[in-house]
Structure 1
Amino acid sequence: MKVSVVIPVFREGEIATLLADLLARPDAGALEIVVVDGAPGQDTLSRIPAHLAQNPRLSLLASPPGRAVQQNAGAGAARGDILLFLHADTRLPDNAFSLVRQCLADPALSGGAFSLGYAEASAGLAFIAAAANARSNFTRVPYGDQAIFLRRSVFRQLGGFPALPVMEDLELMTRLRRQGHAIRILAFPVRTSGRRQLREGLVRCTLRNLFLRLLYHLGVPAELLAGLYLRHGG
């Protein structure tokens, strides 16, 4: 099964390192990477060295800003059987592509995600990751920074990510669960950046995010939540 990795970016400084890591993986196989830049000047795409940009497994796209919009654009251009949505500040575990293929070799599964982990060594971040993993294993609704992957046919059936400024990942996976699709949360963790949490303060950032998710589940419009998220450091 061919895996297409869709990476939405907006003024990312470490894109070359991420792409080099993905392309060098021995289990990549028939891998496709689609980078979708939402910045007006496509400055992230301009940071990709020529030797990477010319790789036939890499596609570079421009899109209006917004993670949902960018991921839908990337998914629309992708040709793989499996779509894996990867945030630019997240690194996949070793053998990630083999793990994804093994997971979806089970025809009863429509997708999955990895467990959450942080790149920085911090007891507070480790606690947040453990709590988030317990939540996603219980609810079967993983976060976007857990590198969600879906069969392309299922993603199309769902209509892609909803056009929301925030919470697009939770809405998509909630819709998936409500329609009776089974997923698997893999025990292997990604390593995502915890710099924002450490900069803001772990307690403040965690409480804010929990409060915003509660408001979303209570029906507060995502557009209003996006304003609150950005206003308070998101």
Structure 2
Amino acid sequence: MVSIIVPTLNEEAALPATLRSLHALEGEKEVIVADGGSTDCTIAVARELGARVVQAVRGRGSQMHAGAVAAVGEIFWFVHADTTPPPHALRDLQNALMRPGVAGGNFGLTFDGCSLAAKQLTLIYPLLRILNLCYGDSGIFLRREIYENIGGFQPLALFEDLDLLRRLRRRGKFIHLACRMTTSSRRFKNRNFLLMWTEWTGLQLLYWCGADPNWLARRYKHVRTNGHQVNLSND
């Protein structure tokens, strides 16, 4: 079974499309919504649409880990609340994990909408994958055993995905599937794309140089927010 874990915080608008697309996938699965204290109708929407809800400490890393702890599947697949999968995602990720030496993987990514930022990032993302850079909105998947052995997601305010992937790659190959998730470009609305990209790149350089992710989140909280929570790399 594949446990699909969706972290949420005030996602009543985006969540229905995501949950319906996940339930429509063929294959044995469970859908867990790990909520970080929503004050809107997110929890009610999740339950109405057949997801199991887990309450967690706010923060994407903490929420995804809480979802993993509650999961019963042999495979964990982390999907953001504003992101929808390709039609055969379950089959594709299960086949990928059957390959020798594969520890985990992710999907390609398309940003929705017609904005210049969405188009540019859709073009840029394959180049980032060549550099082994990928983020949570691309649908990271791995086996439960490996997740538990590497310690899972940590309660970081920023770059929890990069932190997990750094440890995951020590356990085997991390593969990039060609089929694409589709994620919202809402984070770019009314924002200067060039300035945001420059700050985002700078933050990553600081992270790779050893800066504490929680310190980076406190100091640069304006760089990434969807109006509800600080998180730069995977809104």
The answer (yes or no) to whether the contact 1:125–1:202 under 8 Å persists in 2 is no
Which of 130, 141, 153 lines up with 1:149 in the alignment?
141
The alignment's TM-score, normalised by the length of structure 2, stands at: 0.88
Matches within 5 A, 1:137-216: 137-139=130-132, 141-177=133-169, 179-216=170-207
Moved over 6 A (4+): none
Q: Which has the higher helix share?
A: 1
Change (3 A) 1:42 1:64: farther
Q: Give me the whole-angstrom Cα distance separating, in 2, the residues matched to 1:196 and 1:42.
A: 19
Q: Give me the whole-angstrom Cα distance separating, in 2, the residues matched to 1:122 and 1:18.
A: 21
The answer (yes or no) to whether the contact 2:104–2:168 under 8 Å persists in 1 is no
Percent identity reads: 32
Matches within 5 A, 1:36-47: 36-39=34-37, 41=39, 43-47=41-45
Q: Give me the whole-angstrom Cα distance separating, in 2, the residues matched to 1:72 and 1:45.
A: 18
**Per-residue deviation at 1:169?**
0.2
The answer (yes or no) to whether the contact 2:117–2:193 under 8 Å persists in 1 is yes
**SS of equivalent to 1:106:** coil
The answer (yes or no) to whether the contact 1:136–1:143 under 8 Å persists in 2 is no
**Equivalenced residues, count:** 224
Change (3 A) 1:128 1:18: closer
**Per-residue deviation at 1:62?**
0.8
The answer (yes or no) to whether the contact 2:111–2:121 under 8 Å persists in 1 is no
**SS of equivalent to 1:166:** coil
**Per-residue deviation at 1:123?**
4.5
Q: Give me the whole-angstrom Cα distance separating, in 2, the residues matched to 1:135 and 1:49.
A: 36
Which of 88, 104, 109 lines up with 2:102 in the alignment?
109
Q: Give me the whole-angstrom Cα distance separating, in 2, the residues matched to 1:42 and 1:71.
A: 20
The alignment's TM-score, normalised by the length of structure 1, stands at: 0.88
Aligned counterpart, 1:18: 18
**Per-residue deviation at 1:125?**
2.5
Q: Give me the whole-angstrom Cα distance separating, in 1, the residues matched to 2:220 and 2:89.
A: 31
Aligned counterpart, 2:46: 48
Amino acid at match of 2:5: V
**Per-residue deviation at 1:219?**
1.9
Aligned counterpart, 2:33: 35
State the superposition RMSD in angstroms: 1.8
- Gapped runs of 5+ residues in structure 1? none
The C-alpha deviation readout for 1:111-163, integer Å capped at 9, x for no partner, is 10001211113454233233232222332x42111110011111111100122
Q: Give me the whole-angstrom Cα distance separating, in 1, the residues matched to 2:47 and 2:101.
A: 41
**Per-residue deviation at 1:19?**
1.3
**SS of equivalent to 2:30:** strand
Change (3 A) 1:97 1:233: closer
- Gapped runs of 5+ residues in structure 2? 226-235
